[in-house]
Chains A and B, each alone.
Chain A
Protein backbone atom coordinates (compact mmCIF):
# COMPACT_ATOMS: atom_id res chain seq x y z
CA UNK A 1 0.00 0.00 0.00
CA UNK A 2 1.22 3.46 -0.83
CA UNK A 3 2.18 6.02 1.72
CA UNK A 4 -0.73 8.10 2.95
CA UNK A 5 0.63 11.55 2.22
CA UNK A 6 -2.64 13.23 3.15
CA UNK A 7 -2.22 12.14 6.76
CA UNK A 8 1.45 13.03 6.84
CA UNK A 9 0.52 16.39 5.37
CA UNK A 10 -2.05 17.16 8.05
CA UNK A 11 0.34 16.06 10.80
CA UNK A 12 3.44 17.79 9.53
CA UNK A 13 2.48 20.85 7.52
CA UNK A 14 2.53 23.32 10.39
CA UNK A 15 5.82 22.05 11.75
CA UNK A 16 7.32 22.31 8.32
CA UNK A 17 6.13 25.89 7.90
CA UNK A 18 7.64 26.80 11.26
CA UNK A 19 10.89 25.11 10.31
CA UNK A 20 11.02 27.03 7.04
CA UNK A 21 10.00 30.26 8.67
CA UNK A 22 13.08 30.11 10.88
CA UNK A 23 15.10 30.21 7.71
CA UNK A 24 13.27 32.48 5.31
CA UNK A 25 11.53 34.70 7.88
CA UNK A 26 8.52 35.32 5.75
CA UNK A 27 5.24 33.58 6.48
CA UNK A 28 3.99 33.50 2.90
CA UNK A 29 7.28 32.28 1.57
CA UNK A 30 7.53 29.63 4.27
CA UNK A 31 4.08 28.33 3.39
CA UNK A 32 4.80 28.43 -0.30
CA UNK A 33 7.98 26.43 0.20
CA UNK A 34 6.24 23.97 2.50
CA UNK A 35 3.62 23.34 -0.14
CA UNK A 36 6.32 22.93 -2.73
CA UNK A 37 7.97 20.31 -0.53
CA UNK A 38 4.75 18.34 -0.25
CA UNK A 39 4.06 18.67 -3.95
CA UNK A 40 7.46 17.12 -4.60
CA UNK A 41 6.80 14.45 -2.03
CA UNK A 42 3.73 13.02 -3.70
CA UNK A 43 4.57 9.90 -5.58
CA UNK A 44 7.69 9.21 -3.55
CA UNK A 45 7.85 6.56 -0.83
CA UNK A 46 10.57 7.51 1.62
CA UNK A 47 11.15 5.25 4.63
CA UNK A 48 10.87 8.16 6.96
CA UNK A 49 8.56 10.71 5.40
CA UNK A 50 9.08 13.29 8.10
CA UNK A 51 12.85 13.26 7.77
CA UNK A 52 12.50 13.33 3.99
CA UNK A 53 10.26 16.38 4.13
CA UNK A 54 12.54 18.35 6.42
CA UNK A 55 15.57 17.45 4.40
CA UNK A 56 14.00 18.65 1.18
CA UNK A 57 12.78 21.75 2.98
CA UNK A 58 16.29 22.40 4.29
CA UNK A 59 17.62 22.23 0.75
CA UNK A 60 15.00 24.62 -0.54
CA UNK A 61 15.71 27.01 2.30
CA UNK A 62 19.42 26.82 1.58
CA UNK A 63 18.83 27.70 -2.06
CA UNK A 64 16.54 30.45 -0.98
CA UNK A 65 19.14 31.94 1.31
CA UNK A 66 21.71 31.92 -1.46
CA UNK A 67 19.30 33.60 -3.80
CA UNK A 68 18.54 36.23 -1.19
CA UNK A 69 22.20 37.01 -0.66
CA UNK A 70 22.77 37.19 -4.33
CA UNK A 71 19.83 39.48 -4.75
CA UNK A 72 21.25 41.86 -2.21
CA UNK A 73 24.54 41.88 -4.02
CA UNK A 74 22.84 42.28 -7.33
CA UNK A 75 20.93 45.22 -6.00
CA UNK A 76 24.12 46.86 -4.90
CA UNK A 77 25.51 46.46 -8.34
CA UNK A 78 22.46 47.91 -9.95
CA UNK A 79 21.56 50.58 -7.54
CA UNK A 80 21.15 53.12 -10.27
CA UNK A 81 18.29 51.12 -11.65
CA UNK A 82 14.88 52.32 -10.65
CA UNK A 83 13.72 48.76 -10.17
CA UNK A 84 16.04 48.50 -7.22
CA UNK A 85 14.01 50.75 -5.03
CA UNK A 86 10.90 48.78 -5.77
CA UNK A 87 12.56 45.52 -4.89
CA UNK A 88 14.20 46.80 -1.76
CA UNK A 89 10.95 47.94 -0.25
CA UNK A 90 9.37 44.53 0.55
CA UNK A 91 12.49 43.56 2.47
CA UNK A 92 11.82 46.24 5.00
CA UNK A 93 8.17 45.42 5.42
CA UNK A 94 9.12 41.79 5.97
CA UNK A 95 11.24 42.92 8.87
CA UNK A 96 8.35 44.68 10.48
CA UNK A 97 6.22 41.60 10.17
CA UNK A 98 8.44 39.77 12.61
CA UNK A 99 7.80 39.95 16.30
CA UNK A 100 10.57 41.14 18.54
CA UNK A 101 11.10 37.57 19.66
CA UNK A 102 11.48 36.40 16.07
CA UNK A 103 13.85 39.21 15.25
CA UNK A 104 16.18 38.41 18.10
CA UNK A 105 16.16 34.72 17.22
CA UNK A 106 16.87 35.61 13.64
CA UNK A 107 19.85 37.72 14.64
CA UNK A 108 21.12 34.99 16.92
CA UNK A 109 20.79 32.34 14.21
CA UNK A 110 22.57 34.60 11.77
CA UNK A 111 25.57 34.51 14.03
CA UNK A 112 25.92 30.78 13.56
CA UNK A 113 27.78 29.24 10.69
CA UNK A 114 25.57 27.97 7.92
CA UNK A 115 26.16 24.35 8.86
CA UNK A 116 25.69 24.83 12.59
CA UNK A 117 22.45 26.62 11.91
CA UNK A 118 21.18 23.88 9.65
CA UNK A 119 22.09 21.20 12.14
CA UNK A 120 20.42 23.10 14.93
CA UNK A 121 17.22 23.67 12.97
CA UNK A 122 17.01 20.06 11.87
CA UNK A 123 17.47 19.04 15.47
CA UNK A 124 14.69 21.45 16.40
CA UNK A 125 12.51 19.73 13.83
CA UNK A 126 13.07 16.42 15.57
CA UNK A 127 15.39 14.64 13.15
CA UNK A 128 17.74 12.09 14.66
CA UNK A 129 21.53 12.32 14.43
CA UNK A 130 21.78 9.91 11.55
CA UNK A 131 19.34 11.97 9.52
CA UNK A 132 21.02 15.23 10.44
CA UNK A 133 24.37 13.74 9.49
CA UNK A 134 23.10 12.74 6.07
CA UNK A 135 21.73 16.18 5.34
CA UNK A 136 24.65 18.19 6.68
CA UNK A 137 27.49 16.00 5.47
CA UNK A 138 28.79 15.52 9.00
CA UNK A 139 29.61 12.20 10.57
CA UNK A 140 27.05 10.98 13.09
CA UNK A 141 29.67 11.45 15.80
CA UNK A 142 30.18 15.12 14.98
CA UNK A 143 26.48 15.90 15.04
CA UNK A 144 26.42 15.91 18.84
CA UNK A 145 29.46 18.16 19.08
CA UNK A 146 28.11 20.52 16.44
CA UNK A 147 24.76 20.63 18.18
CA UNK A 148 26.29 21.34 21.57
CA UNK A 149 28.27 24.20 20.07
CA UNK A 150 25.33 25.59 18.10
CA UNK A 151 22.95 25.53 21.03
CA UNK A 152 25.48 27.21 23.28
CA UNK A 153 26.20 29.90 20.73
CA UNK A 154 22.53 30.50 20.05
CA UNK A 155 21.72 31.01 23.70
CA UNK A 156 24.82 33.13 24.25
CA UNK A 157 24.19 35.48 21.34
CA UNK A 158 20.52 35.68 22.14
CA UNK A 159 21.20 36.61 25.75
CA UNK A 160 23.76 39.22 24.85
CA UNK A 161 21.33 40.77 22.36
CA UNK A 162 18.65 40.85 25.01
CA UNK A 163 21.03 42.43 27.50
CA UNK A 164 21.98 45.05 24.97
CA UNK A 165 18.39 45.95 24.23
CA UNK A 166 17.58 46.18 27.93
CA UNK A 167 20.59 48.44 28.48
CA UNK A 168 19.24 50.76 25.81
Chain B
Protein backbone atom coordinates (compact mmCIF):
# COMPACT_ATOMS: atom_id res chain seq x y z
CA UNK B 1 0.00 0.00 0.00
CA UNK B 2 1.18 3.51 -0.79
CA UNK B 3 1.21 6.16 1.93
CA UNK B 4 -2.04 6.94 3.68
CA UNK B 5 -3.48 10.26 2.62
CA UNK B 6 -4.82 12.74 5.13
CA UNK B 7 -8.43 12.19 4.19
CA UNK B 8 -8.21 8.46 4.74
CA UNK B 9 -6.36 9.00 7.98
CA UNK B 10 -9.11 11.31 9.05
CA UNK B 11 -11.77 8.72 8.33
CA UNK B 12 -9.66 6.15 10.15
CA UNK B 13 -9.34 8.33 13.23
CA UNK B 14 -13.02 9.10 13.20
CA UNK B 15 -13.84 5.42 12.83
CA UNK B 16 -16.08 6.40 9.96
CA UNK B 17 -18.03 3.65 8.28
CA UNK B 18 -17.03 4.92 4.86
CA UNK B 19 -13.95 2.74 5.38
CA UNK B 20 -14.38 -0.99 4.92
CA UNK B 21 -12.77 -3.51 7.24
CA UNK B 22 -10.27 -4.24 4.50
CA UNK B 23 -9.38 -0.53 4.30
CA UNK B 24 -8.79 -0.42 8.04
CA UNK B 25 -6.53 -3.47 7.96
CA UNK B 26 -4.53 -2.02 5.08
CA UNK B 27 -4.11 1.30 6.89
CA UNK B 28 -2.96 -0.39 10.07
CA UNK B 29 -0.51 -2.61 8.23
CA UNK B 30 0.94 0.39 6.49
CA UNK B 31 1.17 2.50 9.64
CA UNK B 32 3.02 -0.32 11.38
CA UNK B 33 5.89 -0.13 8.93
CA UNK B 34 5.95 3.47 7.66
CA UNK B 35 7.48 6.02 10.01
CA UNK B 36 6.48 8.99 7.81
CA UNK B 37 2.84 8.00 8.02
CA UNK B 38 3.17 7.29 11.72
CA UNK B 39 4.38 10.83 12.22
CA UNK B 40 1.58 12.23 10.10
CA UNK B 41 -0.89 10.15 12.06
CA UNK B 42 0.47 11.40 15.36
CA UNK B 43 0.13 15.02 14.26
CA UNK B 44 -3.32 14.48 12.82
CA UNK B 45 -4.48 12.84 16.02
CA UNK B 46 -3.24 15.77 18.04
CA UNK B 47 -4.86 18.31 15.72
CA UNK B 48 -8.11 16.40 15.79
CA UNK B 49 -8.12 16.40 19.56
CA UNK B 50 -7.38 20.10 19.77
CA UNK B 51 -10.02 21.01 17.20
CA UNK B 52 -12.63 18.94 19.01
CA UNK B 53 -11.86 20.54 22.34
CA UNK B 54 -11.90 24.05 20.86
CA UNK B 55 -15.34 23.41 19.45
CA UNK B 56 -16.51 21.73 22.60
CA UNK B 57 -15.45 24.56 24.87
CA UNK B 58 -17.23 27.23 22.91
CA UNK B 59 -20.86 26.55 23.68
CA UNK B 60 -23.03 28.67 25.94
CA UNK B 61 -22.46 27.63 29.54
CA UNK B 62 -25.99 26.60 30.36
CA UNK B 63 -28.87 25.90 28.09
CA UNK B 64 -32.35 25.45 29.50
CA UNK B 65 -34.52 23.05 27.54
CA UNK B 66 -37.97 24.56 27.07
CA UNK B 67 -40.92 22.17 27.47
CA UNK B 68 -41.62 20.09 24.40
CA UNK B 69 -45.15 21.52 24.27
CA UNK B 70 -43.64 24.84 23.25
CA UNK B 71 -42.24 23.18 20.14
CA UNK B 72 -45.57 21.56 19.39
CA UNK B 73 -47.25 24.96 19.67
CA UNK B 74 -44.70 26.50 17.38
CA UNK B 75 -45.15 23.75 14.81
CA UNK B 76 -48.91 24.41 14.80
CA UNK B 77 -48.36 28.13 14.31
CA UNK B 78 -46.07 27.25 11.41
CA UNK B 79 -48.76 25.16 9.75
CA UNK B 80 -51.12 28.06 9.99
CA UNK B 81 -48.63 30.26 8.21
CA UNK B 82 -48.13 27.71 5.47
CA UNK B 83 -51.85 27.55 4.83
CA UNK B 84 -51.93 31.28 4.54
CA UNK B 85 -49.34 31.26 1.82
CA UNK B 86 -51.39 28.87 -0.24
CA UNK B 87 -54.20 31.33 -0.18
CA UNK B 88 -51.84 34.04 -1.19
CA UNK B 89 -51.01 32.20 -4.38
CA UNK B 90 -54.69 32.26 -5.22
CA UNK B 91 -54.77 35.93 -4.46
CA UNK B 92 -52.39 36.80 -7.20
CA UNK B 93 -54.94 37.54 -9.82
CA UNK B 94 -57.48 38.90 -7.42
CA UNK B 95 -55.02 41.49 -6.20
CA UNK B 96 -53.88 42.47 -9.66
CA UNK B 97 -57.40 43.05 -10.82
CA UNK B 98 -58.23 44.88 -7.65
CA UNK B 99 -55.71 47.55 -8.48
CA UNK B 100 -57.29 48.29 -11.77
CA UNK B 101 -60.67 48.53 -10.15
CA UNK B 102 -59.34 50.55 -7.26
CA UNK B 103 -57.75 53.01 -9.62
CA UNK B 104 -61.05 53.34 -11.38
CA UNK B 105 -62.91 53.94 -8.16
CA UNK B 106 -60.27 56.44 -7.08
CA UNK B 107 -61.26 58.78 -9.86
CA UNK B 108 -64.67 59.14 -8.35
CA UNK B 109 -64.10 58.86 -4.66
CA UNK B 110 -61.26 61.33 -4.23
CA UNK B 111 -59.32 61.27 -0.97
CA UNK B 112 -61.29 58.50 0.69
CA UNK B 113 -59.02 56.38 2.82
CA UNK B 114 -58.09 52.89 1.95
CA UNK B 115 -56.71 50.51 4.48
CA UNK B 116 -53.50 48.97 3.30
CA UNK B 117 -51.27 46.44 4.88
CA UNK B 118 -53.94 44.28 6.29
CA UNK B 119 -54.44 40.74 5.29
CA UNK B 120 -58.09 40.84 4.58
CA UNK B 121 -59.89 37.58 4.67
CA UNK B 122 -61.86 38.41 1.60
CA UNK B 123 -58.79 38.86 -0.53
CA UNK B 124 -57.07 35.89 0.96
CA UNK B 125 -59.65 33.40 -0.04
CA UNK B 126 -59.58 34.78 -3.55
CA UNK B 127 -63.24 35.46 -3.76
CA UNK B 128 -64.62 37.07 -6.86
CA UNK B 129 -62.83 40.24 -7.76
CA UNK B 130 -65.62 42.62 -6.97
CA UNK B 131 -65.74 41.34 -3.43
CA UNK B 132 -62.00 41.64 -3.10
CA UNK B 133 -62.31 45.25 -4.02
CA UNK B 134 -64.83 45.85 -1.32
CA UNK B 135 -62.50 44.22 1.13
CA UNK B 136 -59.59 46.38 0.06
CA UNK B 137 -61.34 49.68 -0.27
CA UNK B 138 -63.57 49.63 2.77
CA UNK B 139 -62.74 52.59 5.01
CA UNK B 140 -63.03 50.58 8.19
CA UNK B 141 -60.37 47.94 8.56
CA UNK B 142 -61.45 44.47 7.63
CA UNK B 143 -59.52 42.15 9.81
CA UNK B 144 -58.71 38.55 9.30
CA UNK B 145 -59.49 36.08 12.01
CA UNK B 146 -55.83 35.57 12.64
CA UNK B 147 -55.14 39.15 13.49
CA UNK B 148 -58.24 39.74 15.49
CA UNK B 149 -57.08 37.19 17.98
CA UNK B 150 -54.05 39.32 18.73
CA UNK B 151 -54.42 41.80 21.54
CA UNK B 152 -52.15 44.47 20.16
CA UNK B 153 -51.87 45.82 16.74
CA UNK B 154 -49.65 48.53 15.39
CA UNK B 155 -51.52 51.16 13.44
CA UNK B 156 -51.79 50.33 9.81
CA UNK B 157 -50.69 52.75 7.24
CA UNK B 158 -53.51 54.60 5.68
CA UNK B 159 -53.19 56.34 2.41
CA UNK B 160 -55.65 58.26 0.34
CA UNK B 161 -57.08 56.26 -2.49
CA UNK B 162 -55.48 58.51 -5.06
CA UNK B 163 -52.12 57.50 -3.63
CA UNK B 164 -53.07 53.92 -4.04
CA UNK B 165 -53.58 54.68 -7.67
CA UNK B 166 -50.13 56.24 -7.68
CA UNK B 167 -48.68 53.21 -6.00
CA UNK B 168 -50.00 51.12 -8.80
CA UNK B 169 -47.56 52.90 -11.06
CA UNK B 170 -44.15 51.46 -10.40
CA UNK B 171 -42.63 54.74 -11.42
CA UNK B 172 -43.82 56.35 -8.27
CA UNK B 173 -42.73 55.64 -4.77
CA UNK B 174 -45.22 54.24 -2.41
CA UNK B 175 -46.53 56.83 0.01
CA UNK B 176 -44.31 57.68 2.89
CA UNK B 177 -45.07 56.30 6.26
CA UNK B 178 -45.49 58.62 9.16
CA UNK B 179 -42.67 58.64 11.65
CA UNK B 180 -42.80 55.69 13.95
CA UNK B 181 -45.41 53.95 11.91
CA UNK B 182 -44.16 50.97 10.08
CA UNK B 183 -44.93 51.06 6.47
CA UNK B 184 -47.00 48.07 5.78
CA UNK B 185 -48.59 48.01 2.48
CA UNK B 186 -49.32 45.87 -0.41
CA UNK B 187 -48.09 47.20 -3.61
CA UNK B 188 -51.00 46.34 -5.65
CA UNK B 189 -49.66 45.59 -8.98
CA UNK B 190 -48.53 42.74 -11.03
CA UNK B 191 -46.26 42.66 -13.97
CA UNK B 192 -48.36 40.00 -15.56
CA UNK B 193 -50.90 42.65 -16.12
CA UNK B 194 -50.41 43.98 -19.61
CA UNK B 195 -51.99 47.31 -18.82
CA UNK B 196 -49.00 48.39 -16.79
CA UNK B 197 -46.29 47.50 -19.24
CA UNK B 198 -45.68 50.91 -20.75
CA UNK B 199 -45.42 52.84 -17.54
CA UNK B 200 -43.06 50.31 -16.08
CA UNK B 201 -40.39 50.77 -18.63
CA UNK B 202 -40.44 54.49 -18.94
CA UNK B 203 -40.26 56.12 -15.58
CA UNK B 204 -38.64 53.84 -13.03
CA UNK B 205 -35.36 54.40 -14.68
CA UNK B 206 -35.33 58.09 -13.95
CA UNK B 207 -36.41 57.49 -10.45
CA UNK B 208 -33.95 54.71 -9.88
CA UNK B 209 -31.22 56.92 -11.13
CA UNK B 210 -32.15 59.69 -8.74
CA UNK B 211 -32.21 57.23 -5.90
CA UNK B 212 -28.92 55.77 -6.92
CA UNK B 213 -27.30 59.13 -6.87
CA UNK B 214 -28.62 59.63 -3.42
CA UNK B 215 -27.39 56.25 -2.32
CA UNK B 216 -24.02 56.93 -3.82
CA UNK B 217 -23.81 60.12 -1.87
CA UNK B 218 -24.74 58.12 1.16
CA UNK B 219 -21.76 55.90 0.64
CA UNK B 220 -23.04 53.07 -1.50
CA UNK B 221 -20.03 53.28 -3.75
CA UNK B 222 -20.62 50.15 -5.74
CA UNK B 223 -24.16 50.87 -6.71
CA UNK B 224 -24.65 50.43 -10.40
CA UNK B 225 -25.85 53.61 -11.98
CA UNK B 226 -28.51 53.13 -14.51
CA UNK B 227 -29.11 49.48 -13.95
CA UNK B 228 -32.59 49.29 -15.25
CA UNK B 229 -34.10 46.39 -13.59
CA UNK B 230 -37.52 45.52 -12.55
CA UNK B 231 -37.59 43.02 -9.82
CA UNK B 232 -40.39 41.03 -8.50
CA UNK B 233 -40.71 38.38 -6.00
CA UNK B 234 -42.86 35.82 -7.53
CA UNK B 235 -44.36 33.33 -5.19
CA UNK B 236 -42.31 34.55 -2.33
CA UNK B 237 -44.87 33.70 0.25
CA UNK B 238 -44.50 36.38 2.82
CA UNK B 239 -42.46 39.48 2.75
CA UNK B 240 -41.99 41.75 5.62
CA UNK B 241 -41.50 45.29 4.55
CA UNK B 242 -40.11 47.43 7.28
CA UNK B 243 -38.66 47.23 10.74
CA UNK B 244 -36.31 44.36 10.15
CA UNK B 245 -34.69 45.00 13.47
CA UNK B 246 -37.82 44.07 15.38
CA UNK B 247 -38.78 41.42 12.95
CA UNK B 248 -37.51 38.44 14.82
CA UNK B 249 -39.71 38.98 17.82
CA UNK B 250 -42.74 39.65 15.78
CA UNK B 251 -42.20 36.62 13.67
CA UNK B 252 -41.68 34.47 16.67
CA UNK B 253 -44.90 35.59 18.26
CA UNK B 254 -46.67 35.86 14.92
CA UNK B 255 -48.01 39.13 16.19
CA UNK B 256 -48.79 40.30 12.74
CA UNK B 257 -48.74 38.39 9.53
CA UNK B 258 -46.02 39.59 7.22
CA UNK B 259 -47.19 41.57 4.28
CA UNK B 260 -46.47 40.76 0.73
CA UNK B 261 -44.70 42.93 -1.77
CA UNK B 262 -45.54 42.58 -5.38
CA UNK B 263 -43.34 44.64 -7.55
CA UNK B 264 -41.21 47.65 -6.84
CA UNK B 265 -38.72 49.79 -8.68
CA UNK B 266 -35.16 48.80 -8.08
CA UNK B 267 -33.05 51.41 -6.43
CA UNK B 268 -29.67 49.81 -6.54
CA UNK B 269 -27.97 46.63 -7.50
CA UNK B 270 -24.73 45.70 -5.83
CA UNK B 271 -22.71 42.56 -5.73
CA UNK B 272 -21.40 41.08 -2.60
CA UNK B 273 -18.92 38.39 -1.83
CA UNK B 274 -19.76 36.04 0.90
CA UNK B 275 -17.04 33.51 1.50
CA UNK B 276 -16.71 32.65 -2.11
CA UNK B 277 -20.39 32.86 -2.99
CA UNK B 278 -21.37 35.70 -5.21
CA UNK B 279 -24.66 37.19 -4.35
CA UNK B 280 -26.51 40.07 -5.83
CA UNK B 281 -28.17 42.52 -3.54
CA UNK B 282 -31.05 44.46 -4.88
CA UNK B 283 -32.40 47.34 -2.94
CA UNK B 284 -35.85 48.64 -3.55
CA UNK B 285 -37.50 51.64 -2.08
CA UNK B 286 -40.88 50.94 -0.63
CA UNK B 287 -41.53 54.41 0.66
CA UNK B 288 -39.62 57.60 1.12
CA UNK B 289 -36.42 56.56 2.88
CA UNK B 290 -37.55 53.04 3.51
CA UNK B 291 -35.80 50.29 1.73
CA UNK B 292 -36.14 46.61 1.35
CA UNK B 293 -33.31 44.48 0.14
CA UNK B 294 -33.41 41.23 -1.73
CA UNK B 295 -30.57 38.89 -2.23
CA UNK B 296 -30.32 36.78 -5.27
CA UNK B 297 -28.01 33.89 -4.74
CA UNK B 298 -26.41 31.54 -7.22
CA UNK B 299 -27.46 33.63 -10.15
CA UNK B 300 -27.32 31.99 -13.53
CA UNK B 301 -25.62 34.01 -16.26
CA UNK B 302 -27.87 35.28 -18.99
CA UNK B 303 -25.90 35.93 -22.16
CA UNK B 304 -28.51 37.68 -24.32
CA UNK B 305 -27.68 41.32 -24.28
CA UNK B 306 -30.73 43.06 -25.63
CA UNK B 307 -33.40 41.81 -23.41
CA UNK B 308 -32.90 39.23 -20.80
CA UNK B 309 -34.48 37.75 -17.78
CA UNK B 310 -32.72 36.16 -14.91
CA UNK B 311 -34.63 33.86 -12.73
CA UNK B 312 -33.19 32.51 -9.60
CA UNK B 313 -33.99 31.38 -6.14
CA UNK B 314 -33.85 34.29 -3.83
CA UNK B 315 -33.47 34.50 -0.19
CA UNK B 316 -35.66 37.25 1.04
CA UNK B 317 -33.59 39.11 3.51
CA UNK B 318 -36.47 40.19 5.62
CA UNK B 319 -37.94 36.79 6.26
CA UNK B 320 -35.17 34.42 5.33
CA UNK B 321 -37.42 32.62 2.95
CA UNK B 322 -36.52 31.46 -0.45
CA UNK B 323 -38.64 32.64 -3.29
CA UNK B 324 -38.39 33.04 -7.00
CA UNK B 325 -36.69 36.16 -8.14
CA UNK B 326 -36.73 37.70 -11.56
CA UNK B 327 -34.65 40.49 -12.94
CA UNK B 328 -35.87 41.79 -16.22
CA UNK B 329 -34.06 44.33 -18.24
CA UNK B 330 -36.07 46.02 -20.91
CA UNK B 331 -35.66 48.95 -23.20
CA UNK B 332 -32.45 50.73 -24.00
CA UNK B 333 -29.66 50.43 -21.53
CA UNK B 334 -26.27 52.01 -21.94
CA UNK B 335 -23.62 49.43 -22.61
CA UNK B 336 -21.71 50.47 -19.51
CA UNK B 337 -24.70 49.91 -17.32
CA UNK B 338 -25.49 46.64 -18.93
CA UNK B 339 -21.95 45.44 -18.58
CA UNK B 340 -21.99 46.37 -14.96
CA UNK B 341 -25.21 44.55 -14.39
CA UNK B 342 -24.04 41.48 -16.24
CA UNK B 343 -20.84 41.44 -14.28
CA UNK B 344 -22.87 41.45 -11.13
CA UNK B 345 -25.05 38.68 -12.32
CA UNK B 346 -22.10 36.59 -13.29
- Which residues of A are interface residues toward B (Cβ below 8 A)? 5-6, 9-10, 13-14, 17-18, 21-22, 27, 29-32, 35-36, 38-40, 42-43, 60, 63-67, 69-71, 73-74, 76-81, 83, 86-87, 90, 101-102, 105-106, 108, 113-115, 120-121, 123-124, 128-130, 140-152, 154-155, 158
The answer to whether A22 touches B59 (Cβ under 8 A) is yes
21 contacts between A and B (CB under 8 A): A21-B58, A35-B70, A35-B74, A39-B75, A42-B75, A66-B274, A66-B295, A66-B297, A70-B279, A79-B218, A80-B219, A105-B55, A120-B55, A123-B14, A129-B14, A142-B7, A143-B10, A144-B16, A147-B14, A151-B47, A154-B54
Q: Which B residues are CB-close (under 8 A) to A30?
A: 60
What secondary structure prevails in chain A residues at the interface with B? helix
Which one of B61-69, B140-148, B326-334 is at the A interface? Answer: B61-69
The answer to whether B68 touches A10 (Cβ under 8 A) is yes
B276 in the interface (beta carbon within 8 A): yes
A120, chain B: closest CB distance, angstroms: 7
Q: Which A residues are CB-close (under 8 A) to B317?
A: 67, 70-71, 74
> Which residue of B56, B218, B220, B315 contacts A67 across the interface (Cβ within 8 Å)?
B315
A42-B295 in contact given A114-B274, A120-B51 (Cβ < 8 Å):
no
The answer to whether B63 touches A13 (Cβ under 8 A) is yes
Which one of B84-92, B126-134, B232-240, B244-252 is at the A interface? Answer: B244-252
B39 in the interface (beta carbon within 8 A): no
A16 to B161, CA, bound (A): 50
Chain B residue nearest to A32 in the complex (CB) = B252
B245, chain A: closest CB distance, angstroms: 5
The answer to whether B10 touches A147 (Cβ under 8 A) is yes
Q: Which B residues are CB-close (under 8 A) to A158?
A: 54
Q: Which B residues are CB-close (under 8 A) to A106?
A: 58
A140-B18 in contact given A39-B74, A66-B315, A80-B218 (Cβ < 8 Å):
yes
B50, chain A: closest CB distance, angstroms: 5
6 nearest A-B pairs in the assembled complex, by CB-CB distance: A144-B7, A145-B7, A18-B59, A114-B275, A144-B10, A151-B51
A76-B220 in contact given A31-B63, A101-B57, A128-B18 (Cβ < 8 Å):
yes
Most buried by B among A27, A114, A130, A148: A148
- Which residues of B are interface residues toward A (Cβ below 8 A)? 5-11, 14, 16-18, 44, 47-48, 50-52, 54-60, 63, 65-66, 68, 70-72, 74-75, 78, 215, 218-220, 223, 244-245, 248, 252, 268, 270, 272, 274-277, 279, 281, 283, 289, 291, 293, 295, 297, 315, 317, 320
Q: Which B residues are CB-close (under 8 A) to A36?
A: 74
Q: Which B residues are CB-close (under 8 A) to A148?
A: 6-7, 9-10, 44, 47
A14 to B55, CA, bound (A): 14
A4 to B232, CA, bound (A): 42
A18 to B59, CA, bound (A): 5
A81-B65 in contact given A128-B17, A145-B10, A155-B50 (Cβ < 8 Å):
no
B101, chain A: closest CB distance, angstroms: 35
A76 to B216, CA, bound (A): 11
Chain A residue nearest to B295 in the complex (CB) = A70
A73-B272 in contact given A42-B72, A121-B55, A155-B51 (Cβ < 8 Å):
yes
> Which residue of A40, A67, A102, A151 contacts B75 across the interface (Cβ within 8 Å)?
A40
Chain A residue nearest to B293 in the complex (CB) = A74
Q: Which B residues are CB-close (under 8 A) to A73?
A: 270, 272, 281
Chain A residue nearest to B11 in the complex (CB) = A144
B293, chain A: closest CB distance, angstroms: 5
Q: Which A residues are CB-close (under 8 A) to B48?
A: 151
Q: Which B residues are CB-close (under 8 A) to A79?
A: 218-219
Most buried by A among B219, B223, B274: B274
A117, chain B: closest CB distance, angstroms: 8
Q: Which A residues are CB-close (under 8 A) to B291?
A: 74, 77-78
The answer to whether A86 touches B245 (Cβ under 8 A) is yes
> Which residue of B6, B252, B274 contacts A144 across the interface (Cβ within 8 Å)?
B6
A62, chain B: closest CB distance, angstroms: 10
